[in-house]
A = this chain, B = another copy of it.
Amino acid sequence: MEKITNIPTLSQIQAAHKAIAAYVHKTPVLTNESINKITGASIYFKCENFQKIGAFKIRGATCAALALTETEKANGIATHSSGNHAQAVALTAQLHQIDAYVVMPETAPEIKKNATRGYGAKVTICEPTLASRQGTLDQIVSETGATYIPSFDHYNVIAGQATVAKELIEEVEGLEVIMSPIGGGGLMSGTALSTHYLLPNARIIGAEPKLVDDAYRSFKTGVKQINNGTKSIADGLLTNLSDKTFEIITKYVHDIITVSEQEIVDAMRLIWERMKIVVEPSSAVPLAAILQQKERFEGKKIGLILTGGNVDVSQLPF
């Protein structure tokens, strides 16, 4: 796998897909009669909650790790993350027999810290601020020579995440709308690229919690904005866009819809109760957007990415 140095092309995404195929699941696409009846749309849910480590993040991390030189591999990989990307980097390193250094804020759920350690990563706990996370990571990188794999601000990571929508588009014919949630924008960027290349007539729509709506405001103003708080229940979507993801989203996404916390919880509950699957709050954000704007999506054939299923089942919002 090459190191990708600009917005991934179709052939780079295709190469990424081929390269990571042995390390990730081709996740199933599910439909649900009740939810179709409630929304009036035909929704095809791409279930990355069934992905390895329980979330799509393994795709991007694998795509980045496969581009390392032998020397880089010998020094290991590093990242900071409070959640799914931590486990993705740890498992990727384990599968490729390289060292992993993961900086996690002390506020990260114990279950995620333990899972990351369970994959053999060296976990360093830091203060729950971006400054502490980045500072701790920088020190580890300078001490070990490990390569930093960011969770979204990286073209190989974006190309890896693009394989989710690629699989969905290749499996389900005639999708008219493709939807994904937006956090840092890695998945949204990959989704937008794959859809742009493979299904150019489809509408590409992102969904974001109102409480962390930097992508919405950036998209509407054309100037990259940042979040004022990090309070949403959708704990996978608290991050700001990066320059790379902002550029791709501005170019290729057609619209972004923001939803309230209650709309997220209601949509999440609907998925649990009707589809009988465990998804994390971030996964429910696009369905919340459809429910909020029913008339807009009525009769449409929609591909929707469920990002993951890593949720503490003893701490549910319902």
- List residues of chain B with CB within 8 A of the CB of A314: 316, 318
Q: Which of A283-310 contact B (CB under 8 A)?
A: 309
**13 A-B pairs whose Cβ atoms sit less than 8 Å apart in the complex:** A28-B28, A49-B276, A50-B276, A272-B313, A273-B278, A273-B313, A276-B278, A276-B279, A277-B277, A277-B278, A278-B278, A313-B316, A316-B316
| Chain B residue, CB-CB nearest to A313 | B272
- List residues of chain B with CB within 8 A of the CB of A316: 313-314, 316
Is A54 interfacial (CB-CB < 8 Å)?
yes
Q: Mark A256-293, 1 if CB is under 8 A from B, else 0.
A: 00000000000001001100111100000000000000
Q: Mark A186-230, 1 if CB is under 8 A from B, else 0.
A: 000000000000000000000000000000000000000000000
Stoichiometry, copies per complex: 2
- List residues of chain B with CB within 8 A of the CB of A54: 276
- List residues of chain B with CB within 8 A of the CB of A273: 278, 313
Chain A contact residue count (CB 8 A cutoff): 16
- List residues of chain B with CB within 8 A of the CB of A309: 276
CA distance A25 to B28 in the complex (A): 16
CA distance A20 to B28 in the complex (A): 25
Assess the A276–B277 pair: CB atoms within 8 A: yes
CA distance A318 to B314 in the complex (A): 5
CA distance A149 to B71 in the complex (A): 70
- List residues of chain B with CB within 8 A of the CB of A313: 269, 272-273, 316, 318
| Chain B residue, CB-CB nearest to A268 | B313
- List residues of chain B with CB within 8 A of the CB of A28: 28
CA distance A309 to B273 in the complex (A): 8
| Chain B residue, CB-CB nearest to A33 | B52
Q: 6 extra interchain contacts, Cβ-Cβ under 8 A, other than A54-B276, A313-B318?
A: A28-B28, A273-B278, A277-B277, A313-B316, A314-B316, A314-B318
CA distance A314 to B315 in the complex (A): 10
- List residues of chain B with CB within 8 A of the CB of A277: 276-278
| Chain B residue, CB-CB nearest to A315 | B318
Which of A50, A54, A276 has the most CB atoms of chain B within a 10 A radius of its CB?
A276
Which of A278, A309, A318 has the most CB atoms of chain B within a 10 A radius of its CB?
A278
Q: Mark A89-122, 1 if CB is under 8 A from B, else 0.
A: 0000000000000000000000000000000000
CA distance A277 to B274 in the complex (A): 11
Instruction: State how many angstroms separate the Cβ of A262 from the closest Cβ of chain B.
Output: 15
CA distance A277 to B49 in the complex (A): 9
- List residues of chain B with CB within 8 A of the CB of A279: 276
Instruction: State how many angstroms separate the Cβ of A268 from the closest Cβ of chain B.
Output: 9
Which of the residues B50, B269, B278, B318 comes within 8 Å of A272, measured between beta carbons? B278
CA distance A313 to B318 in the complex (A): 7
Instruction: State how many angstroms separate the Cβ of A227 from the closest Cβ of chain B.
Output: 28
Instruction: State how many angstroms separate the Cβ of A53 from the closest Cβ of chain B.
Output: 11
